[in-house]
Amino acid sequence: MFQRIFLFVAIVSLITGCAAQASPNVYRGSDAMRAGSAEQVTVLRVRNVVIAGDSMLSAGPGVPAIVSTVVGAVLGARVIGNGNGQYIAGALSGTAAGVIGQVAATHLSQRDGVEVIVRTDIGRQLVVAQGADQQFVTGERLYLVSSGSGYRLTR
């Protein structure tokens, strides 16, 4: 009984704990050792935003719910009840695990970010959204770095 509960907790923790936190201070392996470009820009406006969907399980909106529902149903049916009670326990635990898994995955895939509107020296305006690892202020001169995975701002 204890082993089954431990297995259930371990699987749910594994499923919901897979949030990948991307950052402007972290380069992807495909961007390392490759030339990019950088140009100086001036910050026009900064606002805080929430960045969602960076979880490994966010490939589809229902993936966490489906996986946790199946795991919850199977484990619930095996741990609780006998005979027809197994089916009821499996259905109830599967439903609860699905809701909990989806809410946890949604919450874990969100992170704080900033949306920065910048102007290049030739007058072009761009909007860059990135993690809030660095804070910027209006009028500040920054570098707009372009690489294979997009744009990022840095000092």
User: Tens digit of pLDDT for each residue in 1-50?
Assistant: 545 555 555 555 555 444 444 567 777 777 777 888 999 999 999 999 99
pLDDT at 42: 98
Domain boundaries, the chain: 2-154
User: Tens digit of pLDDT for each residue in 105-114?
Assistant: 767 778 899 9
DSSP state of 82: S
Q: Where are the beta strands (DSSP E) in 4-149?
A: 37-51, 111-120, 125-131, 141-147
Q: Which of 151, 153, 123 is nearest to 136 (CA)?
A: 153
Assign 92 a pLDDT band (cuts: 50, 70, 90). Answer: confident
What backbone phi and psi angles, to 5 degrees, belong to 119?
-120, 130
The pTM of this model reads: 0.60
Q: Is the pLDDT of residue 129 over 90?
A: yes
Judge whether 23 and 111 are in contact, CB under 8 Å.
no
User: Tens digit of pLDDT for each residue in 42-68?
Assistant: 999 999 999 887 555 554 556 666 777
| Helix axis angle, 2-16 to 63-79, nearest 10° | 180
Higher pLDDT, 115 or 93: 115
pLDDT at 20: 44
Q: Which of 48, 67, 50 is nearest to 59 (CA)?
A: 67
Q: CA 118 to CA 23: how far, in whole Å?
A: 19
Owner of token pair 């701002």: 153
Helix (H) or strand (E) holding 152: strand 150-154
